Chain A
Amino acid sequence: MIEVNRRGEVWVFAEQEQNKLSEVPLELMSKGRELADQLGVKLGAVLLGESVKELARRLIAHGADTVYVSQDRRLSHYQANGYAKVVCDLIHAHKPQICLFGATAIGRDLAPRVASTMRCGLTADCTDLQIGDHELPNNEGKHENLLFQIRPAFGGNIIATIINYDRWPQMATVREGVMPLSEPDASRRGQVIDHEAGLNGFELPLKIIESVRTQRKVNLKAARIIVTGGAGVGSKDNFKLIWDLAHCLGGAVGGSRAAVDLGFVDRDHQVGQTGTTVRPALYIAVGLSGAVQHRAGMQESAKILAINTDPEAPVMQIAHYGIVGDLNVVVPKLIKAIRTGGRVAAKA
């Protein structure tokens, strides 16, 4: 662990694969920038890989004041042991007060290993981060300007705010898609600091025999409109209604966990806590009750339309528009109204 260091920077682990940054570290940069400004400290990005230095410019455009770059042949492919060693060395050397990682396959593998080595706290899968004060019970004092690590827990039934006031850095992994991505500013200036990985003689324990990345069949995060079907749709055949509605809106198709488990739609389409977190301009929830795990993944949508036979379904309570009725009747009417530009279709 490191001691409490109020001048310490806010750090973001700039995850990359095959020399490409995904959106996750960039989302973290905008949140990190906000936190750093609030604390009056610099924002640092930690970039590891084989030849990744040119990505530093992008990180600076997205808000970094400092980019710590460690390049080594042995960092070309992510592996927990080597990456954790380099990140821990950097933390020891520069004593950041906050370290953020994406809650990705890599971030959730790396961050706990780093936290365990540092013997500091770590909160998984945060959906929000804030700066705030914590009063100790019995008037034992107050810790100011801590990182509030906010996350759903207990299957999404509670929201917990976690803090770490003595054993720093304050570390968290942050869920993909919950932090808005800000526009890059190419005129921003920042500093690039090279860090010797020091992996000479360091043995990597794993041999990567094969590594395959597949394009997701659907990019829910990028969709402006999402039409999601639940178990209430009834069958895979009937799910065609969901596809039709999505197509006529130029939107993407989502599925609740139940719909995915029932085989109505592929797992790539799953919205919710265990699927993708989305915040589209319009979210249409069809035949799904809106379990808390589902709501956690879509309630930030700008507009929510719920279609359900049950007026008491939880999804109705977060919806902006609710249609109580049979989806087999309502969805075709909706498609017709969209095709005719909102005019009432001529009665037959």
Chain B
Amino acid sequence: MGYNCVVLIKQVPDTKRVTGEAMNPDGTVNRAALPAIFNPEDLYAVELALEIRDRFGGGKVTVITMGPPAACEALRQALYRGADEVVLVTDRRAAASDTLATSYILSCAVRKCGQVDVVLCGRQAIDGDTAQVGPQLAEKLNLPQVTYVEQLQDIKDGVVRIRRNVGNGYEIVEGRLPMLLTVLDTAGHPRPAAARRLMKYKKARAKLELEAAVTAEMPNATAEGKATEVARRLADLQNRGLIIHQWNLDDIKADLQWCGRDGSPTKVHRIQSVILTGKGHKGILPTDEGVAELVTELIEDHTIS
């Protein structure tokens, strides 16, 4: 019983901490210079899924991210907070996907999860701020969408009642599951990592992570030897429920024409880093005279009356 939830999350560079070093001289962003964090609004989507599980009769919470193996760190954080299963969708052929291609790939991953009642996303990610993937994913999955979710009030017999914040007001809407929700950071309070879960799941790994670890630890082993060791560790993690599932585009039966660069209709024409125009301002002395002179000037040019 209960409702199965799938949450799509993203690991993002912390754009609030951008410093000079984060910009390359050519105006592109040096992602390596920025700390990677769990996209803030996605934490609220995970929390809402956990609440649906805890309040409405169980069900499973699966958390999926698409990204490089480093994104496993965000998946482990989801496990610490209470996710039941986590999945890394990773494939070089998915690189350079725009929001349309990303939503297509994610839709293939959600379909692989079987019966899903609620699909959840954060409203938007702080690196792109587009808020597009949620509605696009809903369309790809042929689900109704409720964006800007602030509160899930009730679920009764598969009908969900939601309060959404539309900026200049709010709406209360009702609809039948399955449904896709995008969640705001004013919805509830994400639970912190639970200490016991942290102790357990900090050992959770995806296959690519194991391969990298084995290569680092056994530099002289044959390819076969490494593969055997990876298989052994995978089986061990599997037994202990510490697996981060890893899917590529073939696993989720994605049609490659809709993935990556080819699947992305938007292209970048130009990137400019924001350079302050530095037109040079007029310095005003912080004295009675300085300030009065400024005010006189502003009155004379009719800026103030």
Tell me which of A6-14, A91-99, A106-114, A177-185 binds B: A106-114
Q: B129 to chain A: closest CB distance in Å?
A: 6
Query: Is there an interface contact between A157 and B169, defined as CB atoms closer than 8 Å?
Result: no
Q: Tell yes or no: B175 within 8 A of A by CB.
A: yes
Chain B residues near A20 (CB, 8 Å)?
A: none
Chain A residues near B28 (CB, 8 Å)?
A: 158
Q: Which of A167, A249, A316, A336 contacts B265 (CB 8 A)?
A: A167
Within 8 A of B (CB), among A88-134: 104-106, 108-113, 115-117, 119-125, 132, 134
Q: Which of B169, B176, B279, B298 contacts A214 (CB 8 A)?
A: B169
Q: Which of A157, A316, A345 contacts B22 (CB 8 A)?
A: A157
CA distance A105 to B267 in the complex (A): 25
Q: B254 to chain A: closest CB distance in Å?
A: 15
Chain B residues near A210 (CB, 8 Å)?
A: 170-172
Q: Tell yes or no: B16 within 8 A of A by CB.
A: yes
Q: B39 to chain A: closest CB distance in Å?
A: 12
CA distance A84 to B223 in the complex (A): 53
User: Given A113-B135, A122-B100, are A324 and B173 also a contact pair (CB < 8 Å)?
Assistant: no
Query: Is there an interface contact between A148 and B269, defined as CB atoms closer than 8 Å?
Result: yes
Q: Which of A153, A303, A333 contacts B129 (CB 8 A)?
A: A153
Chain A residues near B16 (CB, 8 Å)?
A: 155
Query: Is there an interface contact between B100 and A206, defined as CB atoms closer than 8 Å?
Result: no
Query: Is there an interface contact between A213 and B168, defined as CB atoms closer than 8 Å?
Result: yes
The secondary-structure label for the interface of chain A is mixed
Query: Is there an interface contact between A113 and B291, defined as CB atoms closer than 8 Å?
Result: no
Query: Is there an interface contact between B295 and A112, defined as CB atoms closer than 8 Å?
Result: no
Chain A residues near B258 (CB, 8 Å)?
A: 119
Q: Tell yes or no: B278 within 8 A of A by CB.
A: yes
Contact mask B10-52 → A, CB, 8 Å, 1/0?
A: 0001011010001100011100000000000000000000000
Q: Which of A157, A207, A212 contacts B29 (CB 8 A)?
A: A157
Q: Tell yes or no: A162 within 8 A of B by CB.
A: yes
Q: List 23 A-B contacts (CB under 8 A).
A: A80-B138, A108-B131, A109-B147, A109-B148, A112-B139, A113-B145, A115-B132, A116-B140, A119-B100, A153-B129, A154-B13, A158-B274, A160-B268, A160-B272, A164-B265, A214-B169, A250-B305, A282-B303, A303-B298, A316-B281, A321-B284, A333-B286, A342-B296
Interface residues of A (CB under 8 A from B): 1, 80-81, 84, 104-106, 108-113, 115-117, 119-125, 132, 134, 146, 148-149, 152-167, 205-216, 225, 249-250, 273, 281-282, 292, 295, 302-306, 314, 316-326, 329-330, 333-334, 336-338, 340-345, 347
What 8 pairs across the A-B complex have the smallest Cβ distances? A155-B15, A325-B286, A205-B144, A121-B265, A342-B296, A116-B139, A121-B266, A124-B130
Interface residues of B (CB under 8 A from A): 13, 15-16, 18, 22-23, 27-29, 98-100, 103, 126-136, 138-140, 144-148, 161, 166-176, 179, 258, 264-274, 276-279, 281-296, 298-299, 303-305
